[in-house]
Structure 1
Amino acid sequence: MLIGYMRVSKADGSQTTDLQRDALLAAGVEPGQFYEDKASGKKDDRPQLTACLKALRSGDTLMVWKLDRLGRDLRHLVNVVHDLTERGVGLKVLTGQGAAIDTTTASGKLVFGIFAALAEFERELISERTKAGLASARARGRKGGRPYKMTAAKVRLAMASMGQPGTKVGELCKELEVTRQTLYRHVSPTGELRPDGKKVLGIGFEDAF
């Protein structure tokens, strides 16, 4: 079965999917087999795309007008197609720079393989630039890396909450907006301060309060 996915960036009526729909219909997609989002391509929340991907079954082919209608970026696109391929679902792009992509054919798979290789190359470049930037910053006496997810206030709240009979760790993590792993790196199950927690507070345990 052929399934069509369409997207426009604005929901104010200034953009329509008519051109995409006509092209997909001409390519063989039946009128009742369309999914349509009106949202920026960079948004994670595209409910119709989510529904479309869930509806696809082995042997189906997902049809899109252009490659940028589907993926937020190259990495996201590669992940989506990898998942579809594992499920036995094909992808066909009708026009634009990705028009040679048709994962139901050998040549189309080869083209997408090149896209996947470029995505991997992009990841490696970003990693190398990040490492080089951090090394340069350290050489100038600056510390790099991500900022702590745990603030001093969050650490103190975790210390006060952990070990209490009524505390549910999952709910505490949601309140602090951290994972269990992050929480336990800073505070023990009994509320004792751990090295990462001391680092956030910048003081010893005896001065934590």
Structure 2
Amino acid sequence: MDYGWCRCSTNETKQDIDRQRRELKKLGIKEENIYWEYVSGSKDYKVEWNRLLSVLKCGDSIATTEVSRLTRSTKQLCEIIEIARTKQIKLIIGTFVVDCTNEIDPMTQGMLLMWGVFAEMEKAIISQRVKSGMANAASKNIAIGRPKTTIENLPSSFLRHYPKYVAKEINVSELARLCDLSRQSIYKYISIYSQKEVGSYVK
């Protein structure tokens, strides 16, 4: 089975994750086999990534657009390569195929790790720029950070499909796919909406 993996750091880059999904579809990956998540590339635990790993079987493949979508940590990249070896699957990065069903040649492994180093370095540069921008904004008393999510600004797609979840017609994963949101965001929005419902009962 061929699976796809997409990742963005935040849902502010929705356009980018849609591009990744389109590119994976062009490679022949079916929509239902594409796993995606809004999470930092260096975070140790990724919910959807672990769901993907749980369904893999020997001979399957994971396709992604670039190494940085898998991780921005060289250490984690080494762990991913080891997982691929253990499960005997293929990693497809863009048009580059890493066949982990057999022994990886030193040149291929060296190239992968070099990509990992560049991805990690890019993250460090971005982080440095963000910190510099935040410091500059703070010095000018400019408010920084995204607006707090409240019941008033929940996504319309969530409000439209949430009743189906309440009626147990769909589960969290299906709700996330219908809303084109991550499971983490869905759990957050459910919590916010539930607080409103509790408040209405108290009144």
Q: Give 1 or 2 for the bigger CA radius of gyration.
A: 1
**RCO higher in 1 or 2 (8 Å CA, sep ≥ 6)?**
2
TM-score, normalization: structure 1? Answer: 0.48
TM-score, normalization: structure 2? Answer: 0.49
Of Structure 1 and Structure 2, the greater helix share is in 2
